[in-house]
Amino acid sequence: MSDKNPLARLSDYGQSVWYDNIHRQLLEDGTLERYIREDDLRGLTSNPSIFEKAVAGGEHYDADLKALLAERPKAAARDLFYALAIEDIRRAADHFRPVYEASGGRDGMVSLEISPDLAHEPVASVEEAIALHQRVDRPNLMIKVPATPEGLPVIEALISQGIHVNATLLFSVDRYLATAEAFINGLKARQKRGLPISGIHSVASFFVSRVDNALDPLLADKAPELQGKMAIYNAKRAYARYRERFAAPDFQELRSKGAAPQRLLWASTGVKNPAYRDTLYLETLIGEDTVTTVPPATYEAFRDHGRVAPTLTQGLDEAEEQWRRLEGLGIDTRATLDTLERDGVAAFEKSFANLLTAIENKAEHIVRAA
């Protein structure tokens, strides 16, 4: 019996654990260092909702905000936010730098998302991503890009520039495959320019629990035995496609030149239905060449009582069969997953707007009090 806790044991099965949270206290009180040391934590993800809670939800950033306003009293809220966020991202990246180096760049990554209000503007998204990459100035930064139709060319462009990318808000297998193509095409474009393709890393963040949230009500009368299972089946289908696509000859040729595959990352792993086991989505998706990013409550729960076994490749044929069954039940899965994508983009846009409003309010208060 291993003396490692369940989180630390996931690496025995080829899965990396990243933390789906960031805030100033985590970076300053030794918690992040402890997670890296005790839990084999290998990366960190952030998003607009996480930053909204961190910056707007307390006083940890007020001193830095006051200092920024002393230098630039008329700074826009967006500029103030990125000044605060980039400081956090840099510090987190520095914590993970030893992990990054020890893993040859495979892990130790910290993700920062481009502004959600640019989700429908590919050119502006690429420009901002490059600017953020330069400002953070850390080799283990991943730029997070929504894998929407407008986001796919952004992903390809950034990979071709040699920038690590976290392609996020993936719900459907079809969109995942398009994301994998964008990644591969970015490598091919870079190779055509005679540039190295080794050392460029990407993950495709495939969302899990939100799928059950959307499908469970539709299954309540038609097939209640499938409730709490379809999100897992959907993720397993994506993993089967991952193995097929990155085993194809064109990628194997790239791999011979040093390219690394774009790993699947399980996102939205917190259980939202209290009737389900609180570690459900972690325990059922453990497998090689994957990442799981875990929110705080689920992280603590899995460390305490998570069950570790190689579950991801179990029942791949069943996953395909049960997913096809939904069509026979009259459930439009394409429409459901498209709605989840649109709602995801809108939710991040709202969080970002709320965040900027909160910073504006804090800034006004600080300037008036000065």
Model confidence at 206: pLDDT above 90: yes
Do the beta carbons of residue 323 and residue 234 sit within 8 Å?
Answer: yes
Note the pLDDT tens digit of each residue in 116-155. Answer: 889 889 999 999 999 999 999 999 999 999 999 999 999 9
Percent of the chain exceeding pLDDT 90 equals 87
In degrees, to the nearest 5, what angle opens at C-alpha 153 toward C-alphas 312 and 87? Answer: 80
Q: Average model confidence (pLDDT) for the chain?
A: 95
For 261, the token pair is 């595959």
Q: Of the candidates 91, 89, 65, which has an alpha carbon nearest to the alpha carbon of residue 79?
A: 65
143 bridge partner residues: 112, 165
Distance, CA of 303 to CA of 312 (rounded, Å): 19
For 363, the token pair is 């800034």
Do the beta carbons of residue 69 and residue 367 sit within 8 Å?
Answer: yes
Task: Kindly state whether residue 187 falls inside one of the protein's structural domains.
Answer: yes
Task: Kindly state whether residue 23 falls inside one of the protein's structural domains.
Answer: yes
Helix 152-160 vs helix 173-192: crossing angle, to nearest 10? 30
Helix, coil or strand: residue 290: strand
Q: Report the pLDDT value the prediction gives residue 2, as an integer from 0 to 100.
A: 63
Range of the domain at 285: 6-365
Q: Which of 73-82, 266-275, 295-304 has the lowest mean pLDDT?
A: 73-82
Distance, CA of 69 to CA of 365 (rounded, Å): 11
Do the beta carbons of residue 267 and residue 231 sit within 8 Å?
Answer: no
Please identify which of the residues 53, 144, 229, 236 carries the catalytic annotation: 144
Q: Of the candidates 211, 338, 218, which has an alpha carbon nearest to the alpha carbon of residue 280?
A: 211
Q: Report the pLDDT value the prediction gives residue 88, as an integer from 0 to 100.
A: 94
Q: What is the DSSP string of 131-180?
A: HHHHHH--TTEEEEEE-STTTHHHHHHHHHTT--EEEEEE--HHHHHHHH
Q: Is the pTM of this model over 0.85?
A: yes
Task: Kindly state whether residue 370 falls inside one of the protein's structural domains.
Answer: no
Task: Kindly state whether residue 1 falls inside one of the protein's structural domains.
Answer: no
CB atoms within 10 A of CB 326: 21
* Residues 217-222, mean pLDDT to the nearest whole number: 96
Per residue in 234-271, is it b (16+ CB within 10 Å) or e — as a string?
A: bbbbbbbbbeebbeeeebeebbeeebbbbbbbbbbbbb
Q: Which of 121-125, 220-224, 240-244, 362-366 has the lowest mean pLDDT?
A: 362-366
Distance, CA of 287 to CA of 282 (rounded, Å): 10
Do the beta carbons of residue 222 and residue 207 sit within 8 Å?
Answer: no
Domains identified in the chain, total number:
1
Note the pLDDT tens digit of each residue in 230-274. Answer: 999 999 999 999 999 999 999 999 999 999 999 999 999 999 999
Q: Distances in Å between the alpha carbon of 261 and those of 44, 145, 200, 236?
A: 19, 18, 9, 17
Q: Report the pLDDT value the prediction gives residue 62, as an integer from 0 to 100.
A: 87
Model confidence at 1: pLDDT above 60: no
Q: What is the DSSP string of 293-327?
A: EE-HHHHHHHHHH------TTTTHHHHHHHHHHHH
Model confidence at 367: pLDDT above 90: no
Strands 109-113 vs 41-44: parallel, antiparallel or unpaired:
parallel
Task: Kindly state whether residue 360 falls inside one of the protein's structural domains.
Answer: yes
Note the pLDDT tens digit of each residue in 45-68. Answer: 998 888 888 887 778 888 899 999
Task: Kindly state whether residue 267 falls inside one of the protein's structural domains.
Answer: yes
* Residues 27-34, mean pLDDT to the nearest whole number: 96
Do the beta carbons of residue 358 and residue 65 sit within 8 Å?
Answer: no
Q: Distances in Å between the alpha carbon of 39 and those of 14, 94, 142, 240, 289?
A: 15, 18, 22, 28, 18
Q: Report the pLDDT value the prediction gives residue 306, as an integer from 0 to 100.
A: 98
Q: Report the pLDDT value the prediction gives residue 278, as an integer from 0 to 100.
A: 97
- Confidence grade of residue 161 (pLDDT, cut at 50, 70, 90): very high
* Residues 312-329, mean pLDDT to the nearest whole number: 95
DSSP state of 224: G
- List the CATH number of the domain containing 352: 3.20.20.70
Residue 144 is a catalytic residue: yes
